[in-house]
């Protein structure tokens, strides 16, 4: 009996010591099969989704601008607020880069993106007016600006944002956006809608490349 009591007492002591240890020391966060903590997984997913939303806003408000500008006569009355909202998105994208690359880099990307939007507007208005020379000049400037955006992003993260791949993403974005705008101007609305669906798929792939690249470049920022 005494021996049993001693043994039970020892077991109780071990259990108590274990509970105290668990209470005193914070538990390590659960991890997936690759050893990545669930907190890090959540942080990466949130950043991934936030980057997608920024670029979805980019295409949504670009499309709304096209719809407002592509009417047969005057622009729709919402074109002013729509333009303001679209330009604000370019600031939002630049601001999302600042925590990683600094204010100057974020502002530089915003400036390039503003040129991207304003030049697209010049192109749409020239095409609407049937001004072929002005449209060609705006198109050339638009595509050159796209290369400048790709080059600026590549300089920030050359390992994960290769220049050729960034340029290809930007060119695809312009090609598809232009196809949607032309279809809209010509009244080919089913083609316009189909092109916009392609714009959406493409921009999500580009957003994922950007978020994946930042996460890979700054893994400590997403460690918990």
Tokens linked to 45: 């997913």
Rg of the chain over Cα atoms, rounded to whole angstroms, equals: 26
Cα-based angle 158, 153, 218 (whole degrees, multiple of 5): 60
Quote the crossing angle between the two packed helices 38-69 and 163-185, to the nearest 10°: 40
What's residue 30's pLDDT? 46
Tally Cβ neighbours within 10 Å of residue 62.
24
Q: Domain segments of the chain: what residues?
A: 34-222
Tokens linked to 123: 């192109």
95 pLDDT more than 70: yes
Confidence of residue 3 (pLDDT cuts 50, 70, 90): very low
The backbone torsions φ and ψ at residue 86, rounded to the nearest 5 degrees and listed phi first, read: -65, -45
What's residue 13's pLDDT? 41
Taking the C-alpha atoms of residue 155 and residue 132, their distance in angstroms, rounded to an integer, is 35
Cα-based angle 185, 60, 89 (whole degrees, multiple of 5): 120
2 pLDDT more than 60: no
Secondary structure of residue 37 in the 3-state scheme: strand
Secondary structure of residue 31 in the 3-state scheme: strand
Quote the crossing angle between the two packed helices 132-156 and 79-101, to the nearest 10°: 20
17 Cβ contact list (under 8 Å, min separation 6): none
The backbone torsions φ and ψ at residue 31, rounded to the nearest 5 degrees and listed phi first, read: -130, 160
Tally Cβ neighbours within 10 Å of residue 211.
21
pLDDT in tens, 116-168: 999 999 999 999 999 999 999 999 999 999 999 999 999 999 999 999 999 99
Contact in structure between 176 and 198 (CB atoms under 8 Å): yes
Is the whole-model pTM more than 0.75? yes
Can you tell me which residue has the tokens 């009591």? 5
pLDDT in tens, 19-77: 233 233 334 344 444 445 677 889 999 999 999 999 999 999 999 999 999 987 788 99
pLDDT in tens, 174-222: 999 999 999 999 999 999 999 999 999 999 999 999 999 999 999 999 9
Can you tell me which residue has the tokens 């749409």? 124
């Amino acid at each position: 009996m005494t021996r049993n009591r001693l043994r039970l007492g020892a077991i109780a002591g071990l259990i108590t010591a274990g509970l105290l240890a668990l209470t005193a020391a914070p538990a390590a966060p659960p991890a997936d099969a690759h050893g990545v903590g669930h907190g890090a997984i959540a942080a990466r997913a949130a950043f991934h989704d936030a980057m997608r939303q920024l670029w979805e806003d980019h295409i949504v408000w670009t499309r709304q601008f096209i719809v407002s500008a592509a009417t047969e006569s005057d622009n729709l009355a919402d074109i002013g607020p729509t333009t303001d909202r679209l330009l604000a998105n370019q600031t939002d994208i630049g601001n999302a880069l600042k925590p990683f690359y600094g204010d100057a880099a974020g502002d530089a990307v915003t400036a390039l993106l503003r040129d991207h939007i304003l030049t697209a507007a010049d192109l749409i208005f020239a095409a609407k007016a049937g001004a072929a020379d002005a449209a060609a000049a705006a198109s050339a400037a638009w595509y050159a600006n796209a290369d400048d955006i790709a080059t600026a992003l590549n300089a920030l993260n050359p390992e994960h944002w290769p220049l050729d791949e960034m340029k290809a993403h930007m060119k695809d974005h312009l090609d598809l956006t232009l196809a949607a705008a032309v279809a809209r101007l010509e009244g080919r609305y089913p083609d316009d809608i189909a092109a916009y669906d392609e714009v959406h798929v493409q921009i999500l792939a580009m957003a994922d490349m950007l978020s994946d690249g930042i996460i890979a470049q700054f893994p400590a920022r997403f460690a918990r």
